[in-house]
Structure 1
Amino acid sequence: MIPEDHPRYAALVVRERLADAMRAGIVAPEGLIAQGRGEAFDYLLGERTTASAARAEVDAAAMLLAARRPVISVNGNTAALSAHQLADLQEASGALVEVNLFHRTEERMQRITALLEEHGVDVLSGVPERLIPLSHDRALCLPDGIGAADLVLVPLEDGDRCAALRQMGKAVIAVDLNPLSRTAQTATLPVIDEVRRAVPAITAACRTMTPAAARERACGVDGKRYLKEAIAAIAARLEEMGHALE
């Protein structure tokens, strides 16, 4: 039991959820390391959605609504943390949802799909093909899913697949707390925020944006600007904390 008055209550709940999901075969053990890395950057950002990230989340909604065939790519960590939120985002954006894993087994694919469907997500199924130019199993995707997408939303992503998707001519929205990661650096639009904060914000923006406004906003997205602003926010917070010790 985690006491609710613990100063790290929210973070400890997330850790327990991921640990339980690992024991259930949904999250790979390596996914716990990835979570820890992201949490470290969340500390640096003040564990909050910055004004810059909030704007990026509205941009993400615009890109999803303006896309011809948007697909949300889900891995184990994302499913464990945000399955119920993804159902809302799928409904608001009209995007397809496909499971894609680095540590891929049929059992994990089935467990993650079952978890998503339990929370109301309509998950694509079919026979995957090696359509993404990669040497590992993240190359596998569905021809009528990620294979046919013009835009892919990749929460908690591997940088090499993000780069490969861009090489295929697809736009990529990445939710990543680390503005220095390959994923954030490569994505069309990096959303530098925690996934459980980012997904509901994108959903809310999808529900209030008109198609015309989405098309107009999507044309002006500047991903590099968000990287610079995130790095500046981290630098400013570190300087502030340093001054507080004087």
Structure 2
Amino acid sequence: MIPHDHPRYQSLVTREHLAECARSGIVSWEGLISHGRGEAFDYLLGEKTSDSARRAARVAAALLRTARYPVISVNGNTAALAAREIAGLQKASGALVEVNLFHRTPERVAQIESLLCDAGADVFSGEAERLLPLSHDRAWCRRDGMYRADVVLVPLEDGDRCGVLVEMGKKVIAIDLNPLSRTARTATLTIVDEVTRALPLIAEACATLSAEECRELVAMLDNRVFLKEAGIEMAGRLSHALD
């Protein structure tokens, strides 16, 4: 039992949940390491959403709203942490939801799809093909899913696939707590924030932005600004903490 008055209560509850999801096969054991790395960067943000990330979430909503064929790509960590938030964003944006895994087995794909469906998402499933030019199992996707998309939301770190999708001419929205990662630096837009905080912000903006606001936000997009602001925020908090 984790005592409710523990200063790291929510973090410990999340870790226990992810460990249980790893035991059941939804999360890969390697995914636990990825979560820990992201949590370390979240400390540097003060475990809260910055003003810069809030603005980036609005731009993400604008990209999804103006997309011809938007897709939300979900891995095991995202499903375990934010299945309900994914369902909410799908309803707000109209995007397809598709499971894409590095540690891929048919059983694991089915587990994650079931978890998302139970949370209220309408998951695009069916026969996958090896369509992306990658040497590992993230190459598997649906021809009428991610392969067809013009905008792909990739929650959590995934550098090589992010790069390939951009090279294919797609706009990639990343949610990544590490502004130094390949994903963050390669994506069209990076929201430097924790996934369960970022997804509702995108969904809210999808529901409130006007068509004109969407066009203006997309036209002004410069991911380097968001990455720089995230770095300044983290460095400032670290410097202040050590004074």
TM-score, normalization: structure 2? Answer: 0.98
User: What is the alpha-carbon distance in structure 1 between the residues aligned to residue 216 and residue 70 of structure 2?
Assistant: 17
Matched residue type, 2:175: V
**How far is 1:212 from its partner?**
2.7
Paired residue secondary structure (1:54): helix
**2:117 maps to which residue?**
117
User: What is the alpha-carbon distance in structure 2 between the residues aligned to residue 91 and residue 8 of structure 1?
Assistant: 32
**1:105 is the counterpart of 2:105:** yes
Q: Please say if residues 178 and 192 of structure 2, whose CA atoms lie closer than 8 Å, have aligned partners that are also in contact.
A: yes
**How far is 1:57 from its partner?**
0.6
Paired residue secondary structure (2:144): coil
C-alpha offsets along residues 26-73 of structure 1, whole Å, 9 cap, x if unaligned? Answer: 000000000000000000111110111110011111111011100000
User: What is the alpha-carbon distance in structure 1 between the residues aligned to residue 112 and residue 202 of structure 2?
Assistant: 22
Matched residue type, 1:213: E
**How far is 1:6 from its partner?**
0.6
Paired residue secondary structure (2:135): coil
User: What is the alpha-carbon distance in structure 2 between the residues aligned to residue 232 and residue 222 of structure 1?
Assistant: 16
**How far is 1:165 from its partner?**
0.5
**1:201 maps to which residue?**
201
**2:184 maps to which residue?**
184
Paired residue secondary structure (2:47): coil
TM-score, normalization: structure 1? Answer: 0.97
Computed over aligned residues only, the root mean square deviation of the Cα atoms, in angstroms, reads 0.8
**2:152 maps to which residue?**
152
User: What is the alpha-carbon distance in structure 1 between the residues aligned to residue 27 and residue 211 of structure 2?
Assistant: 36
Paired residue secondary structure (2:173): strand
Paired residue secondary structure (1:146): coil
Question: What percent of counterpart residues are identical?
Answer: 62
Q: Which consecutive segments of 4 or more residues in structure 1 shift more than 3 A?
A: none
User: What is the alpha-carbon distance in structure 1 between the residues aligned to residue 99 and residue 78 of structure 2?
Assistant: 10
Q: Please say if residues 157 and 181 of structure 2, whose CA atoms lie closer than 8 Å, have aligned partners that are also in contact.
A: no
Matched residue type, 1:44: L
**How far is 1:143 from its partner?**
0.5
Paired residue secondary structure (1:72): strand
Q: Please say if residues 26 and 111 of structure 2, whose CA atoms lie closer than 8 Å, have aligned partners that are also in contact.
A: yes
Q: How does 1:17-96 map to 2 (within 5 A)?
A: 17-96=17-96
User: What is the alpha-carbon distance in structure 2 between the residues aligned to residue 125 and residue 201 of structure 1?
Assistant: 26
Could you tell me which runs of 5 or more consecutive residues in structure 1 were left unpaired when the two chains were aligned: none
Matched residue type, 1:43: Y
User: How many residue pairs are counted as aligned between the two chains?
Assistant: 243
User: What is the alpha-carbon distance in structure 1 between the residues aligned to residue 229 and residue 240 of structure 2?
Assistant: 16
**1:126 maps to which residue?**
126
C-alpha offsets along residues 161-195 of structure 1, whole Å, 9 cap, x if unaligned? Answer: 00010011000000000000010010000000000
